[in-house]
Amino acid sequence: MKGRQIRYSDEELSFIEWRQAMSRRALHAAFVARFGRPDVKLEDIKALCSRRGWLTGRTGGFEKGSIPFNKGKPHPARGRAAETQFKKGSMTGAAAAKYKPIGTERFNKDGYLERKIHDGLPLQSRWRLVHLIRWEELNGALPAGEALKCLDGDRRNTDPSNWRAIPRALLARLAGRYGRGYDAAPSALKPTILAIAELEHAARERAP
């Protein structure tokens, strides 16, 4: 300690030198326990090792290949950081303003009624056509390669009886650029247009 001189025996000096790689706190505790020297403080051991050049070998830096003591341990936020950190499932700003709860219904750009069915990903799977939901509740899953056709031309009418499963390729014959204008046709003509389109499609499918 500064202001007084500490004397060490040769045995004590040898003890300290041989254990110079220990942390100074551990070395001090071992020294006091071994020699019963309560007059020697931690600062005295530090000063002695510094004067003699007895170093612990520690540089204070992280050595390559060493494993951090906190590897794999969680780092929970505390205090103000815990109050302001992002919480899973929380939304703020524009996302919160635009959020629509599950069960919300809306009309898409094509005029079909959609219903939100989940909040997961991908985004485009969150909304499903209401007429398809209702039709499948009554008839089961729509077969692959088929689509539902609105019979009365009113896409907002989601009653299952207003939708019929037809081959997807038939849609172009009914309402495509070169189709028969099914949606705009008078109600009395719609069944005939649909029947003719189905016959033409069937004939094309059977053709070699």
Specify the amino acid at residue 117: I
Residue 28: pLDDT above 90?
A: yes
Least confident of 46-55, 70-79, 124-133: 70-79
Digit-coded pLDDT (tens) for 118-131 = 999 999 999 999 99
Q: Taking residues 127-141, what's their average pLDDT? A: 97
Q: Taking residues 101-113, what's their average pLDDT? A: 95
Residue 19: pLDDT above 60?
A: yes
Measure the CA angle with vertex 104, ends 101 and 110; round to 5°: 130
> What letter does residue 185 receive in the DSSP assignment?
S
CB 16 within 8 A of CB 32: no
Task: Tell me the residue length of the chain.
Answer: 208
With 0-12 / 13-18 / 19 or more C-beta atoms within 10 angstroms meaning exposed / middle / buried, residue 188 is: exposed
pLDDT of residue 60: 55
Digit-coded pLDDT (tens) for 80-100 = 666 666 666 677 788 888 999
Residue 180: pLDDT above 50?
A: yes
Phi/psi for 166 (5° steps) reads -135, 160
pTM, to two decimals: 0.57
Token pair of 25 as six digits:
């706190």
Read off the pLDDT band of 138 (50, 70, 90). very high
pLDDT of residue 1: 45
**Residue partners of 103: CB distance under 8 A and separation at least 6:** 115, 116
